[in-house]
Amino acid sequence: MMACEICDGKVVFYFKKSYASSPYSHLMRDWGEIEYVRCEHCGFVLSLTHRQAEHSAWEKLNHDYHHFIENCDGSFSIPNQPPYAMQALMLQLLAVNEVISLENSLDYAGGYGRLSHLLNKYYHIRLPVYDPFVTSDDEHVFYFNDLQGMTFDTVFNSAMFEHVRSREELDQVNALINQNGALLIHTVVTETVPKDPDWFYLAPPVHSAFHTNKSMGILMNQWGFNASIYAPLSKTWCLLRHHNKAIAQRVQLINHELQSDFLIYKPGFVDYWK
């Protein structure tokens, strides 16, 4: 049995799931039962079936799924769409208060550039996008075709951490961040991944990896991040290289201005979802 992609812990069988009913049965008709494994140490859960699939089959599944989502006729509600408006506000607040810099920033795997569009139109902020599979004709969105040799002060990554099949794909994101840069992640992180084939986050058949508070804490430490900020309304974490009082004070100021706990800051990983 393979070792855990996050901590090298012992990985064991967890459960199986079948996509036998609509709306995804037509996408998964050739995949059979999906087998999930779990790390006994950090709780990270991975689809062994997705990991072992041929790259061409994985690419086809992603293409077909996203084409289906983008072109559904309204009879099916799109699940788990990122809260783009709140993410744009979070980025603006953090940038204005010099917690992060958006002067040299990137939306990695940014898809159709919906977040970049909002930032450009409403905040006059340029957030370039890189996505190897998707591009948009939106005149407000600028795409990088190649990131070779590039690094950034801030990298935003929305709804990709649950789509990976290997540690290498995660490390590719981290490699784009400057030594003092920040990484913002939108995904679902739980205390324990439910042993339940009907869990809502398993529904999209392209979701192959599921993170826990412990596995994310281990991952961020391995990457050299020592503090984090979580915004519940944007469901996004901001990982920072250093923990210091100045950052804590700026977060406190933002919350005071908004008269709400818009941001939560702590050393280590903000384990908000228990």
Instruction: Give the pLDDT confidence of 183-230 residue by residue, as tens digits.
Output: 999 999 999 999 999 999 999 999 999 999 999 999 999 999 999 999
Which pLDDT value is given to residue 76?
Answer: 58
Nearest to 126 by CA among 146, 150, 102: 102
Question: What's the pLDDT at 65?
Answer: 87
User: Residue 2: CB partners within 8 Å, gap ≥ 6?
Assistant: 11, 37
pLDDT of residue 132: 83
Confidence of residue 272 (pLDDT cuts 50, 70, 90): very high
Rounded to an integer, what distance in angstroms lies between the CA atom of residue 154 and that of residue 87?
Answer: 14
Cα separation, 57 vs 150, in Å, equals 30
pLDDT of 261 > 90? The answer is yes
pLDDT tens by residue, 31-80: 999 999 999 999 999 999 999 999 999 999 988 887 787 776 655 566 66
| Side-chain-facing half-sphere of 193: CA atoms under 13 Å | 28
Instruction: From 115, 155, 109, select the one nearest 133 (Cα to Cα).
Output: 109
Looking at residue 258, its amino acid is L
d(CA 15, CA 23): 22
Length of the chain (residues): 274
Query: What is this structure's pTM?
Result: 0.93
What pLDDT is recorded for position 79?
62
Q: How many whole angstroms separate alpha carbon 68 and alpha carbon 30? A: 17
- Residue 3 sits at the vertex; the CA angle it makes with 151 and 58, to the nearest 5 degrees, is 65
With 0-12 / 13-18 / 19 or more C-beta atoms within 10 angstroms meaning exposed / middle / buried, residue 123 is: middle
The confidence score (pLDDT) of residue 133 equals 76
